[in-house]
Amino acid sequence: MVFAKLQGAKNSLRISSSLQDLSSYRNIDPEHGLLRDPISASFSKTKPLQLPNPVRRKCLAPIAIIAFLLLILFLLYIFYSHQASPKYYVVLDCGSTGTRVYVYKAQVQQAHSTNFPIAIQSLKDGLRKNPASGRAYDRMETEPGLDKLVRNVTGLKTALKPLLKWAQKQIPEASHRSTSLFLYATAGVRRLPFDDSKWLLDNAWNVLKGSPFVCRRAWVKIISGTEEAYFGWIALNYDSGNLGVEPRKETYGALDLGGSSLQVTFEGYNQKHFNSETSLYVRIGSVNHHLTAYSLAGYGLNEAFDKSVARVFKKFGYSVADAVKGNVEVKHPCLQSGYKERYTCSHCAALEKGGESPKVEGNENLLGKNEGLKTTVTLVGVPNWQECSALAKVAVNLSEWSDVSPGLDCEIQPCALGDNLPRPMGHFYVISGFFVVYRFFNLSAEATLEDVLEKGREFCEKRWDVAKTSVAPQPFIEQYCFRAPYIASLLRDGLHITDKSITVGSGSITWTLGVALLEAGKAYSVRFGLRGFGLLQMKMNIPFLIPILILSFILLLCALSWVVNWMPRFFRRQYLPFFRHNSGSSASVLNIPSPFRFRRWSPINSGKLIAQLISEFLMIR
């Protein structure tokens, strides 16, 4: 029989129980009633949950906190060990005379807080100086330049693959997959028509992506002369120890002379040097730098000699038509007696058309329109030192190669610069091509420009058969008679820089070092800020950061302990008891919702309730 709603009940709970079941409660042991039968623990056939051990619960919280802290420390260790591990960079410099590969190893250095935080090492394992070679640099290089390999897939692969193979030997094999590979082309490729330069870069990318290094298509590109100048300035002042140090040190200007162009970079403090086209704002560490950087196309060593040939070509009244017939001999005053060789002139056709300006980076230079109009002539040596020096000065004067009017007087103003370019100021390191000329004549860095001119004059007076054997085999031996007066005139007349304002840099200073420094800075979170390049500076001081992390862990431990001890009761799990009857009848479970207080059931505590139920049952009957 089932009871209906009790009369006079003070709540709306529905009581549903069998009378015969009540009698079975008499034999229940109150303490034994909490024991669970492994087979039939509850009417729901679900295995009941065991009440948690209070001692175990108290131990779990500290263990969990300790495990969490150990995990955090482990992750931080992994992060900082990865950040502090060496990083490798491979930079391909694709110039007008050849393609060079440079491999750099970068590491974080924390020896002193005022030092630049990154140490860069150039790797040259297996590259030994050949005593029989007169080359100025110890580097891996292939020739000719990429600009001579347009539409030549085989030649392009031949130029790049040996460089990549050599670079792989410099870097541990385990680090190959994390090594960044960059190919930056300069003036040689920069002057090509768009379709030709695009073909070169696309096919170079096809070769590079097959290497074991990390390379992206965006890393295979032509860099502007301003970028090249900036990279060179970074490399120079890093090598000199002037970057990222406190107190601030005065930086050096950089004159980077290549085969096709001259890069000029210096730090200016005068408002007249602020030019929107040439100004760069740089922040390294806590120091701000305002740089002036520009590139002079056509002022590299090879291009300058080509202009001298074009000037003599025009002086004798030759035309391109005459050159096509093959009967043009150009008698050059900067070549030794007995010299006679065929030469391909790039500027001869342009000069015949009235001349074009070798303009500043960003504008089309004189080779842009006439790259396909090359003229082959025969160069004949007719040495004359005075005429050679005058010809070198003509190659420097901008007004001789442009429509600048009136003509520039090199005695009054720097005649290699237009009115829109700031004049160089400060102390300069002359690198690359300048170093090559000094090295050729066995001059030390302390030698003056007068020493260079004297060595050049002596070399020009030798017969060609004697001159070419007086030095170790190397490219462009015949051009050094011209190069000596050219670099002297370029500094003195073209830029108005005196001997006291220059220092000859070593051959180890190249703009590719600046590329590696910038990339390592991004990888190690030591950023260089450069307007227009989207890089930000963020210097991380690891020794100062460690105490902060330890203090943070202590605060976190205290917070977690407070949370565990004062956690609200409704976040704690409630466990309801399950009872077992001795008989095979169904169990009755009172599931009292939480805000009511729950009391364990026993026949002793429930005797009055049972008596009341029986009494009310008899009254109904």
The answer to whether 263 is a known ligand-binding residue is yes
What local confidence, expressed as pLDDT, does residue 116 receive? 77
* Residue 401 phi, psi dihedral angles, 5° rounding: -125, 15
3-state SS class at 451: helix
Give residue-wise pLDDT tens across range 259-270.
999 999 999 866
The active-site residue, picked from 227, 228, 267, 361, is 228
What local confidence, expressed as pLDDT, does residue 72 receive? 76
CB contact set of 607 (below 8 Å; sequence gap of 6+): none
Decide if pLDDT at 15 tops 50.
no
Decide if pLDDT at 455 tops 60.
yes
What local confidence, expressed as pLDDT, does residue 326 receive? 74
Decide if pLDDT at 418 tops 80.
yes
Query: Taking all residues of the chain, what is their mean pLDDT, rounded to a whole number?
Result: 78
- In this prediction, residues 163-182 reach a mean pLDDT of 96
Decide if pLDDT at 168 tops 70.
yes
Q: Rounded to whole angstroms, how far apart are CA atoms 146 and 155?
A: 9
In the CATH scheme, what is the code of domain 85-222? 3.30.420.40
Burial 160-188 (b: 16+ CB within 10 A, else e): beebbebbbebbeeeebeebbbbbbbbbb
What local confidence, expressed as pLDDT, does residue 537 receive? 35
Distances (CA, A) of 144 to 137, 141, 159, 194, 262: 16, 9, 8, 20, 20
Tokens 């980076």 sit on residue: 361
Nearest one of 479, 451, 478, 480 to 464, comparing CA atoms? 478
Distances (CA, A) of 159 to 144, 163, 195, 259, 463: 8, 7, 20, 18, 35
Nearest one of 567, 546, 561 to 76, comparing CA atoms? 546
- In this prediction, residues 160-168 reach a mean pLDDT of 97
Give residue-wise pLDDT tens across range 83-112.
568 999 999 999 988 999 999 999 887 655
Structure tokens at 129: 């100086």
Q: Which helix (H) or strand (E) holds 119?
A: strand 118-122
Decide if pLDDT at 588 tops 70.
no
What local confidence, expressed as pLDDT, does residue 34 receive? 45
Nearest one of 508, 509, 491, 490 to 500, comparing CA atoms? 491
Catalytic: 228? yes
When comparing pLDDT for 292 and 133, which is higher? 292
Q: E strands along 188-252, which residues?
A: 220-222
Grade residue 139 by pLDDT with cuts at 50, 70 and 90.
confident
85-222 and 225-510+522-540 in the same fold: yes
> Between 385-396 and 449-460, two packed helices, what is the crossing angle to 10 degrees?
130
Give residue-wise pLDDT tens across range 364-411.
343 444 445 788 999 999 999 999 999 999 999 999 887 766 789 999
- How much is the pTM? 0.70
Decide if pLDDT at 53 tops 70.
no
Task: Identify the CATH assignment for 225-510+522-540 out of 3.30.420.150, 3.40.50.150, 3.30.70.890, 3.30.1330.60.
Answer: 3.30.420.150
Give residue-wise pLDDT tens across range 59-91.
666 766 776 777 777 666 666 555 568 999 999
Cα-trace Rg, the chain: 42
What local confidence, expressed as pLDDT, does residue 110 receive? 64
Question: Which residues are bridge partners to 381 per DSSP?
Answer: 332
Structure tokens at 602: 């026993």
The answer to whether 260 is a known ligand-binding residue is yes
Q: Rounded to whole angstroms, how far apart are CA atoms 547 and 333?
A: 72
Q: Rounded to whole angstroms, how far apart are CA atoms 103 and 85?
A: 16
Share of the chain above pLDDT 90, in %: 49
Distances (CA, A) of 168 to 172, 175, 182, 350, 546: 8, 10, 14, 43, 36
Give residue-wise pLDDT tens across range 318-341.
887 887 777 789 999 999 999 999
Q: Rounded to whole angstroms, how far apart are CA atoms 208 and 285?
A: 34
Nearest one of 401, 115, 400, 116 to 234, comparing CA atoms? 116
Grade residue 428 by pLDDT with cuts at 50, 70 and 90.
very high
What local confidence, expressed as pLDDT, does residue 299 receive? 97
Grade residue 563 by pLDDT with cuts at 50, 70 and 90.
low
CB burial class (10 A; 0-12, 13-18, 19+) of residue 32?
exposed
Q: Can the peptide bond before residue 547 be classed as cis, meaning omega within 30 degrees of 0?
A: no
Give residue-wise pLDDT tens across range 481-536.
999 999 999 999 999 999 999 999 988 899 999 999 999 988 876 445 444 333 33
The answer to whether 127 is a known ligand-binding residue is no
Q: What is the DSSP letter of 217?
A: G
What local confidence, expressed as pLDDT, does residue 580 receive? 47
What local confidence, expressed as pLDDT, does residue 524 receive? 77
The answer to whether 261 is a known ligand-binding residue is yes
Q: Domain residues of the chain, as ranges? A: 85-222, 225-510+522-540
Decide if pLDDT at 201 tops 90.
yes
